[in-house]
Structure 1
Amino acid sequence: MRIALLGYGKMGKIIERVALERGHSISIKADSKTTTLDFSKTDVAIDFSLPSTAVSNITSSINANVPVISGTTGWLDKYDDIVEHCNRKNGAFLYASNFSLGVNIFFEVNRVLASLIANYPDYKLNIEEIHHTQKLDAPSGTAISLAEDIIKNSNYKNWTLDEDEDDSDAIKIEAKRIVDVPGTHIINYNSEVDAIEIKHTAHNREGFALGAVIAAEWIANKKGVFNMKDVLKINE
């Protein structure tokens, strides 16, 4: 399979190595200096670029009839527009806030815990996420996904980064940036008598890269809008 890497930073280079190890080839290595994209020798595109370029990269892939997966966060205010465009063009698009197989299992554990604890208001919730200092958006897309899944399965109404905000309906998210931390996410439920905590810690970026390549392999020759639940056959 010929893969276009739309974003050739640290993650792009790791994805390249994983893809080559799995027998694929790289047709495009696009970075911030790339001005044109030629998809004529590409079977699927993987976008790990910047929030400012992700929409253009995804749109260009769809316009070229190339299935595209994206792990770039910070652009989701345009997500519905991309979905509409993909459907109109009969394209293939998959977005995930995190491609790690372990994180996607963690998402499912988070949903179950949120639904179990929803009827026990003595437990107060907060989310902590830690990433490397080069991560541009805060909170992380993964933390937002975790919060949104809790909201769907509990009495919380929204989330906030404002620690001083006095809103019992809002999930407090604490975003930390520390050098060389690939990604840690912690869900804390605290009461006066005990605490429940679930945590996912990425030891390196290999898991993100492997999940992205697996998703690229899966989406080839498909049409529609998908997520990692489709790839991993969760809740089928």
Structure 2
Amino acid sequence: MKIALLGYGKMGKTIEALAIQRGHTIVIKTSQIDNVDITQADVAIDFSIPEAAFHNISTCFNNNIPVVSGTTGWLKQFDTAVNLCHEKKGAFIYASNFSLGVNLFFELNSKLAQMMSQFEDYKVNIEEIHHTQKLDAPSGTAITLAEDIITNQKHYTKWSLEDEARALPIEAKRIENVPGTHIVTYKSDIDTITIEHEAHNRNGFALGAIVAAEWLIGKQGVYTMKDVLNLS
């Protein structure tokens, strides 16, 4: 598999190392897609920056290159990207987090939210901690967790970093050398229920993105990690 890495920061370098271990070839490593011939790749993996993500993804669709994207902070243009993918008969996977463990955590979070929906004494909050180089806050993973809780409960209508009525609170912290920790807490006057995922390094995120790229080759349409991991 010939891979174009769009965004060659710490995550891009980790993907490169693991992809080579799995027998793949990195044919493009760039942060500026306009300077390269994207058609030499079989698939693109985008871990760029929010300002570049939509341009990278749409350029790939326009050149019939499947795209796996883990860039967060650009989702106001997500529906436009999905529509373009369908129009160009492309293939696309977006995930706020590609880690196998995190995607299992997403499923656990949804199930717990369903179970807790009838117990109004419990108030929910989400805490996320990442390295100081992370540009967006809250993390895409925290937003996914929050949206899944909101979908499964009637108490909240939105999430917020502020203290707002009927908003599920998210606390975002930035600390040196923390790959990613997410904590969901249900608290009442009587007790507290907590689920937590802590990443030890970037390898889980990188490996998941490579597995998603391997899975996406030869397909058409818009998918999620639930499809890749057969969690649907």
TM-score (norm 2): 0.98
Aligned to 1:3: 3
Check the 8 A contact 2:158/2:168 in 1, yes or no: yes
Aligned to 2:193: 196
Q: Kindly provide the amino acid, as one letter, of the partner of residue 15 in structure 1.
A: I
Q: 2: distance between equivalents of 1:36 and 1:222?
A: 27
1:60-79 Cα deviation digits (max 9, x unpaired): 11111010010000000000
Aligned to 1:17: 17
- Unmatched tracts of structure 2, length 5 or more: none
Aligned to 1:135: 134
Q: 2: distance between equivalents of 1:48 and 1:205?
A: 12
Look up the SS of the partner of 2:17 in the other structure. helix
- Listed as ranges, the matches of 1:77-156 within 5 Å are 77-155=76-154, 156=156
Give how far 1:11 is off.
0.2
1:222 aligns to 2:227 (yes or no): no
Q: Kindly provide the amino acid, as one letter, of the partner of residue 87 in structure 1.
A: H
Check the 8 A contact 2:182/2:197 in 1, yes or no: yes
TM-score (norm 1): 0.96
Identity %: 61
Aligned to 1:234: 231
Aligned to 2:203: 206
Q: 1: distance between equivalents of 2:138 and 2:40?
A: 36
1:131-162 Cα deviation digits (max 9, x unpaired): 00000000000000000000110112110001
2:172 to 175, 188, 199: 175
Give how far 1:39 is off.
1.9
Give how far 1:37 is off.
2.7
Q: Kindly provide the amino acid, as one letter, of the partner of residue 113 in structure 1.
A: L
Q: 2: distance between equivalents of 1:39 and 1:136?
A: 26
1:83-124 Cα deviation digits (max 9, x unpaired): 000000000011000000000000000000000000100001
Moved over 3 A (4+): none
Q: Kindly provide the amino acid, as one letter, of the partner of residue 100 in structure 2.
A: L
Q: 2: distance between equivalents of 1:30 and 1:190?
A: 45
Give how far 1:36 is off.
1.9
Aligned to 2:44: 45
Q: 2: distance between equivalents of 1:36 and 1:94?
A: 24
Q: 2: distance between equivalents of 1:49 and 1:42?
A: 17
Give the count of matched residue pairs. Answer: 231
Check the 8 A contact 2:39/2:65 in 1, yes or no: no
